[in-house]
Chain A
Amino acid sequence: MADEIKASANEETPLVEIRNLKKYFPVKTGFFGSTPLKAVDDVSFSIKRGETLGLVGESGCGKTTVGRTILHLYEPTAGQVIYNGKPVNSKSKEEMAEFRRKTTMVFQDPYSSLNPRMTVSDIIGEPLDVHGMYSSKKERMDRILELMDRVGLNSEHASRYAHEFSGGQRQRIGIARALASGPEFIVCDEPVSALDVSIQAQVINMFDELQDELGLTYLFIAHDLLVVRHISDRIAVMYLGKMVELADAAEIYDHPMHPYSKSLLSAVPIPDPKIAHANKRIPLQGDIPSPLHAPSGCPFRTRCPFANKSCSASMPEFKEVKPGHFVACHRVEEINS
């Protein structure tokens, strides 16, 4: 315990650290049996205070589950979430309430994430109500109006319902709700992928500004790699529930080392005809296997152009290849030499 207290005082302590996090969902297979679906399998990383960690991967890779399990919306199957130097204890009511105040989430779908029967002010005020964070009706309303102002919403709209707004405005409402309890850490789960291109930039800029003003820490989950690269300090790549690569944003884009990251990044369509035509894509064969029948050893070996016998034998270790650059690949040295 003493160590932990000392550690939390240290500036260098990561705000969020997850160790060997696992989340399995039971899936019914047949009449009686059920097999675990390993949505997140042994993932570890940490996020420094004020940092943005981008989490990318294709659908079904478990990135959303990572975000939700960190926030204990799903109870982890195994592993630890350490927040501010202290393991999150879901048994203690007080500690959980504190954790819920300090962490929050922004969702992908600006339609299903706002209750259609609540007014904008009630939606934004929900965290305030839940935590009883005001002493008078006026204080509550003032705080709501302040939040609306901060995300660029007209305060006259406080009594309207969410369905009257466009997607971008709805996402602003969602962000205002996320900010209401004064959080430090926000899990942003694909917050711009449902928005129109011209609106995306408004919301991305708002995330940037809020981070500068409030010193927020983000876990930014997305599949749009250009958006992730724009906003993130470091980027983690996931494949089939496992983390395959983690490095600084510039490093991972300029020198991706895992074969999956290489083809993922080369597959991004660049909005510039000349670059797009010159771009050499590294095509991947086939589809992502079902997480229920994940291949033995390295999960990527079925699509990997470099796979050999050793890849099917064991899961490669997630090791630091260069300072700050982690890769999980048996043949990383051979491929990148």
Chain B
Amino acid sequence: MTTKTLIKVIWYALLALLILLMLAPIAWMISTSFKPETEIATIDVNWIPRNFTTENYERVFERFAILRWTLNSLIVSSAATALVLLLDSLAGYALARMHFAGRSVIFGIILSMLFVPMQITVVPLFLMFAEVDLTDTYLALVLPVGANVTGVFLMRQFFLNIPYELEDAARVDGASTLRIWWSVVLPLAKPALTAVAIVTFLSTWNSFFWPLIATRTDASRTLPVGIAQFMSLRPGQAQGAQAYGQAMAGAVIAALPPIIVFYMLQRYFIEGISMTGIKG
């Protein structure tokens, strides 16, 4: 009885410590973002700002196109997700349910690209898009996402496991293959489509390396690339404090929407991630 209680007390103490360690940095980010410059550069820890101000946010909106970056990120991530769902469910269906010459060779070549790091494609991609003058456009950010491998793999795996009878029934009714894919197979594939959609949207939303290279102006700059600019506000230690208030305000603006969406949809998030993590 007493050891059991003791274990429980220790467990809850550790739980509290864990929650604190994981969430305190985020709380501190929010707290700093509402402080004036003078209150930031001190060794006094005020979790609640003593001189509450929204000045940092006003400055951020004034000096940076942060809303434009967010809009760019939304457009690019949505377009990339739609593209991936369309291409991968078509290709995955063919690879899983149809017989044709070269199927395993094609699938093998697609899968082999899993081992090729995307960094190797970045220099050629940049030169290709520069050649046709399409760097710094949405197209340059969206199209390479359409070439992803995990989505095709996941869709194929899913299609392998749906029963043939449903397709056969539709075929007897005279439906075309495209029609069967659209109105029989896709509705069944909702779990896989959801997982692929979430993972594609998230990875595009968070993608940094390629957008950093491909974008030049606010017209196409995505949120992660924009946020990185806040650190260039930090020329030396002396000016640091002034910059951190604005940097934290920018970080809060970028961080809150995903956190809120995550708290609302956390089950789908975690399912999507464990599904692709294990199988990809």
The answer to whether A and B belong to the same complex is no
